[in-house]
Amino acid sequence: MDHSATPQTHPTLLVVDGHSLAFRAFYALPVDNFSTKDGQATNAVYGFLTMLSQVIETEKPDHIGIAFDVKGGTFRNELLTQYKGTREAAPEELLTQLPLIQQALTALGVRWIEKPGYEGDDVIATLATMGEHDGCRVLVLSGDRDSFQLIDDDVTVLYPGYHFKDLKHMDPAAVEAKYHVTPGQYPDLAALRGETSDNIPGVPGVGDGFAAKWINQYGSLDAIIEHADEIGGKKGEALRDNIDQVRLNRRVNALVRDLDLGVTIDDLDYGRVDADLTERLFNELQFGERTRTKLLTTFNTAPDDTPTPAPAIPTIIEPLVDALTDTASLTMWIEQYCPPADPTEERPDPTLDITAEYDHQSTQCADAVRRSWTLYIDGDAKPGHASAHMAAIIAGAHAVAFDPADPRYHDTLRTLLDTHADSLSVHGYKEHLHMLAAADLTCPTVLFDTNLAGYLIDPDFQGGSLEECAAHFLDIHLDDHDDTPKQGTLGFEDNDDQDDDPAQRCIDHAAVVAALARRLAPELERREQYPLLRDIELPTSRVLFHMERTGASVDRARLDELHTQFADESAQMEAIAESAAGRSINLQSPKQLGVVLFEEMGLKPTKKTKKGAYTTNAAALQTLYATSEEGSKANEFLGALLRHRETNKLKQIVETLIDAINPKDGRIHTTFTQTVTATGRLSSVDPNLQNIPNRNADGREIRSGFVPGEGFVDLLSADYSQVELRIMADLSGDEALIEAFRSGADFHRYVASLVFGIPVDEVTPDERSRVKAMSYGLAYGLSTYGLSKQLGISNGEATKLRDQYFETFGKVHDYLESLVADARRTGYTETIFGRRRYFPDLNSPNRQRRDAAERGALNAPIQGSAADIMKIAMIRADRALRDAKLASRIVLQIHDELVVELAAGEVDEVIALVKDAMEHAVDLAVPLDVSTGVGTDWQRAAH
């Protein structure tokens, strides 16, 4: 017996019209403000969930059921063929969000229900009726007025007003006040009036007012129909003319209240969130931290099994800004506030072999980061012309800002960095190294980098800037020179009046970094990524900093020569093409090309592009060229066009390189971005030096423009052969594949002999290349279709090749399957060193997305492991060169290749050191093979 003082209240059941709410949310929130980076609209998902969350907070229901419509018609369409006929097919952007809403509800532990052949409205009516019978107070959240018929003393409809978030509580009194009929009479009224949004015509000229008047006069629709003759005037006549329609309307708008839904009220409990699923989905939706926290606390009410409470978002501290006057004041400030690293904490010995002691290091960083101090430098981090304008330090609750080049503070800062880097958190270690270098300062490896940490936590998150990281991980939106107010964002309180003060601005940013570090460190630990940050990414940043600062030396005269050469031929080809076309044309415009080729020359319609037009890509042009009549205008035009494409592209590449030459040193300083690729690879920008032509002879000539700089004699090119396949051999443990590598024979030839069951020396070049394509295709998730297309063989032959291959290398097959299966289970893949990539799309209802995710899950661990290995090799090679006090230095990395500038007299020693660093970066079941070449330019260094 319940002796508590509070009276026993009825439990509350919340019933939601899923489609209605999704529609309302979609049209209420601008899609532009709610989209993921890859263009998936999320406004309806966001609006739906926050609205639901808001209602739950306010109404505190005990049970929740969400009703959805099912695709396909209902019994209503049979009654009324035009039913909902004018309703625009919901926009694609909304439709794609419905499955996401349902997935989110499942993840959040909320039951949703649909019933084929019926509408969500009927499900709602049934649930409401069920709740009422079970003694519940029922709330129906719906924007559909048909639901008003459900209203009674126990059932209230929550009806969104003009502003989406204003909910009107429609109870019997509210309905009577608005429509002057009872809720039970509302469908009669609606039948007379019609419903434009559902394409249901009512009696012409009859609106709510007349309908209510008649209902009150006669009591019901039946009675009105019975006395239809007595009603005079135009409206009476209209009623009589439309009696059948009105009867039909009434049948259609009557909700079914007794469906068999297979659920009881107890099935509509909620409160147990699937944290893992939710996180993956919210990552995919790119929800900010505030949204996540809000939703999780609302939906996760179960007192028990809630193992991982949402991590608290550290508040941005508003530090006490201390004024500096001289060296002594900064020195004192540092002594007082800047923490030295915890001496009891084990710091990795920088000379330690990364792989050897890998498992014995601490995997914790959160405590150290909480105690850490923060440095933020405002300046330009572009290698070649870096600069530092302002530095801000936050330590504890205190902050200072000063010009790092100011002689009063310069040496103090130098000492601080030299002695306290291991308790320092920054956003962008590499960038800070560039800016510090501009102020003649260095900095040993730091404790924590929020940019690298954010990348390791979620490598698919695009955006390394502090602003973007703050938005993504803290849901804090800094001003970014954008005056347009952003929906649902908060201004950064500190800078309202201090916007113009560079010192204050710098401190504000440092405060964000401090908060970000405290938010990310525990998350990094939770995902077991801290060892990667400490042992791979941070040391890699140092190496990249040196490479970028050094730059790659180029032979300007050679590049100019190549430019002229390509430009000449390009112009020549353009002239030929224009003469063949009989008019002037911009050959670089696919649109104009389309007109000439497919309209004026009337060439056969080739393949389509992604969006409508006929493609004019090289493959298509090649086909057209091959099939065009020899000597025809079209043939002549296509030949010139194809050659123009090539030479013009090469001309442009050379031009870009020339423009990128730094006048100060005549070298090209690329920037290696470390937090861009989802797999762990680096990328190169401004300019991109990782896509210098290499496939064709004339393009490859450009590489001859890369030369050793002054004081250096040669370039060394060292690259891994078949790293990805070796990784596949190691990870799969396939004995046959491992043996293929250990044998030291020509790998593809050896594999072909196994696959085709013939002696090695009988393998034809064709067989070798097929097997080679197959081997590489595997790691990319290549389909047999793709394989057949690439090799120019039939799909059947490709399938046969694949089957033979897997028969030979059974464990490779099992391994590749297990990659996808594991990823589907855990939500992520892992490289050899534990680098993760998440694949929420593996469970996508969309086939294409799912297939793409599967290919990604196949590729990410393999490509990612190769990237890890190369990063380790770079760290080792860089260290080996420095330890040996050699002048030779790494200048470029092209995924599996290193380019090293060789100083006189060091050639043999450097080759040995670099080769060793690369070959022993990691110990696999198969040897890593590195081939090297030396030459006076990059092309000659090829091997």
Instruction: Fill in the per-residue mask, 786 to 805: x = in contact with DNA (CB under 7 A), - = not in contact.
Output: x--xx---------------
Question: Is residue 783 close enough to count as binding DNA by CB under 7 A?
Answer: yes
Question: Is residue 31 close enough to count as binding DNA by CB under 7 A?
Answer: no
CA 613: distance to chain centroid?
29
Instruction: Fill in the per-residue mask, 866 to 895: x = in contact with DNA (CB under 7 A), - = not in contact.
Output: ----------------------------xx
Identify which range of 51-59, 747-755, 782-790, 823-831 contacts DNA by CB under 7 A: 782-790
Size of the site for DNA (CB under 7 A): 66
Question: Is residue 785 close enough to count as binding DNA by CB under 7 A?
Answer: yes
User: Which amino acid makes up residue 883?
Assistant: D
> Min. distance of Cβ 823 from DNA in angstroms?
13
Residues 70-89 that bind DNA (CB under 7 A): none
CA separation (Å) from 865 to 362, 574, 726?
A: 22, 45, 11
Quote the CA–CA distance of 359 and 363 in Å, as a whole number. 9
Query: What does the chain come to in residues?
Result: 943
Say if CB 380 and CB 435 are below 8 A apart. yes
Q: Binder to DNA among 199, 673, 799, 843 (CB under 7 A)?
A: 673
CA separation (Å) from 803 to 771, 785, 796, 799, 932?
A: 12, 14, 11, 6, 36
Residues 595-614 that bind DNA (CB under 7 A): 609-613
Quote the CA–CA distance of 727 and 832 in Å, as a whole number. 9
Question: Is residue 616 close enough to count as binding DNA by CB under 7 A?
Answer: yes
Backbone φ and ψ of 96, nearest 5°: -70, -15
Q: Which tokens is 215 given?
A: 């209902």
Q: Which strand (E) or helix (H) includes residue 797?
A: helix 795-808
Cβ burial 76-107 (10 Å sphere, 16+ → b, else e): beeebeebbeeeeebeebbebbbebbbbbbeb
Nearest residue to 110 via CA among 21, 241, 193, 1: 21
Q: Binder to DNA among 617, 632, 743, 846 (CB under 7 A)?
A: 617
Question: Is residue 693 close enough to count as binding DNA by CB under 7 A?
Answer: yes
Task: Compute how many other C-beta atoms are within 10 angstroms of the C-beta atom of residue 729.
Answer: 27
Say if CB 414 and CB 406 are below 8 A apart. no
User: Which amino acid makes up residue 636?
Assistant: E
Question: Is residue 591 close enough to count as binding DNA by CB under 7 A?
Answer: yes
Question: Is residue 91 close enough to count as binding DNA by CB under 7 A?
Answer: no
User: Which residue is associated with the tokens 């034809």?
Assistant: 764
CA separation (Å) from 289 to 314, 416, 698, 840?
A: 11, 34, 51, 18
Residues 849-868 that bind DNA (CB under 7 A): 852, 855-856, 859-860, 863
Identify which range of 288-296, 303-311, 359-367, 678-686 contacts DNA by CB under 7 A: 678-686
Question: Is residue 177 close enough to count as binding DNA by CB under 7 A?
Answer: no
Q: Binder to DNA among 71, 360, 695, 885 (CB under 7 A)?
A: 695
Q: Binder to DNA among 58, 264, 696, 931 (CB under 7 A)?
A: 696
Question: Is residue 691 close enough to count as binding DNA by CB under 7 A?
Answer: yes
Task: Compute how many other C-beta atoms are within 10 angstroms of the C-beta atom of residue 302.
Answer: 13
- Cβ closer to DNA: 625 or 780? 780
> Min. distance of Cβ 859 from DNA in angstroms?
4
Question: Is residue 690 close enough to count as binding DNA by CB under 7 A?
Answer: yes
> Min. distance of Cβ 876 from DNA in angstroms?
19
Q: Binder to DNA among 18, 539, 687, 840 (CB under 7 A)?
A: 687
Question: Is residue 699 close enough to count as binding DNA by CB under 7 A?
Answer: yes
Question: Is residue 382 close enough to count as binding DNA by CB under 7 A?
Answer: no
Question: Is residue 199 close enough to count as binding DNA by CB under 7 A?
Answer: no
User: Which amino acid makes up residue 863?
Assistant: Q
Q: Binder to DNA among 235, 643, 649, 850 (CB under 7 A)?
A: 649
Instruction: Fill in the per-residue mask, 250 to 279: x = in contact with DNA (CB under 7 A), - = not in contact.
Output: ------------------------------
Quote the CA–CA distance of 868 and 238 in Å, as a whole number. 78
Quote the CA–CA distance of 517 and 369 in Å, as a whole number. 7
Question: Is residue 36 close enough to count as binding DNA by CB under 7 A?
Answer: no
Question: Is residue 590 close enough to count as binding DNA by CB under 7 A?
Answer: yes
Say if CB 741 and CB 591 are below 8 A apart. no
Identify which range of 117-125, 145-153, 400-408, 770-778 contacts DNA by CB under 7 A: 770-778
Nearest residue to 653 via CA among 701, 719, 605: 701
Say if CB 737 and CB 812 are below 8 A apart. yes
Q: Binder to DNA among 777, 840, 861, 935 (CB under 7 A)?
A: 777
Question: Is residue 681 close enough to count as binding DNA by CB under 7 A?
Answer: yes
Quote the CA–CA distance of 530 and 358 in Å, as a whole number. 12
Quote the CA–CA distance of 468 and 483 in Å, as a whole number. 17
Q: Which tokens is 698 given?
A: 């004339």
Question: Is residue 567 close enough to count as binding DNA by CB under 7 A?
Answer: no
Instruction: Fill in the per-residue mask, 889 to 928: x = in contact with DNA (CB under 7 A), - = not in contact.
Output: -----xxxx-------------------------------
Q: Binder to DNA among 1, 359, 848, 885 (CB under 7 A)?
A: 848
Q: Summarize as ranges the residues that interact with DNA (CB under 7 A).
A: 586, 588-592, 609-613, 615-619, 621, 645-646, 649, 652-653, 656, 673, 676-679, 681, 683-688, 690-696, 699, 773, 776-777, 780-783, 785-786, 789-790, 847-848, 852, 855-856, 859-860, 863, 894-897
